[in-house]
Amino acid sequence: MRKVHFEDLGLVDYKKAWDYQTTIFQKSIGVKIDKRKNPGNGNETQNHLLFCEHPHVYTVGNSGNKDHLLLSDAILKEKGASFYKINRGGDITYHGPGQVVAYPIFDLDHFFTDIHKYLRFLEEVVIITLKEYGIIADRLPGFTGVWIEPNIPSRARKICAMGVKCSRWVTMHGIGFNVNSDLNYFGHIIPCGIEGKQVTSMQKEIGETINLDHLKAALKTNFANVFDFDYY
């Protein structure tokens, strides 16, 4: 059985979490490089799953466009938000309190070496979790992430964004799952570069604040079930 080390970092500065992810990621890369040079050394990579929330922050991926952030630097500061250009796929997105962020730092050699399958599994974790709360969600063809009513263009709304980095089959970054998010902050960007699409949250869909501890417990369980691993 695959093993994954889990940590809930709580509310943590984006850069601090990014640096922490990078340390784990680079360690796994180093182990794999060394293993190729010295096959009998006995060292193995470890898999990690991090949950957290971030203070208000906008991030844009390698292929993204900063013009999709509709705020000047001065107004960004007024709103108590920060901005980072980061090393993941995808365009611009927002993270903030009430959004559960999950960062799987997995060695896909332990699972399957297929990045598209990996993205679909991430989506499935969220889809199953939402179903437990009575929210029916699905994928929107041509886009990543998880959507409510994706088959009705005028009503399609995104509840979970995704952006990942993968090197030597080790992953980092992950998902931003809108649970009790302040959706007003999405009004200052073209989310993931998709014009004319809405963004939503569990709180908005259900009409009440979601208990984050319960939600994270369900999400944690569904990660293990979908990816078929145990925690240690």
**Which runs of consecutive H residues, i.e. helices, occur in 79-170?**
115-132
Closest CA to 120 of 143, 99, 148, 136: 143
Closest CA to 51 of 217, 171, 228: 217
Q: Which residues of 178-202 are buried (b: 16+ CB within 10 A; e: fewer)?
A: bbbbebebbebbbbbbbeebbbbbb
Give the Cα separation of 87 and 166 in Å (integer): 10
Give backbone dihedrals phi and psi of 23, rounded to 5 degrees, phi first: -60, -45
Give the Cα separation of 106 and 126 in Å (integer): 17
> If you search the block for the tokens 């569990």, which residue do you land on?
202
Count CA within 13 A, CB hemisphere, residue 63.
7
Determine whether 192 is an active site residue.
yes
Residue of 52, 160, 166, 192 marked active site: 192
Active site (catalytic) residues: 192
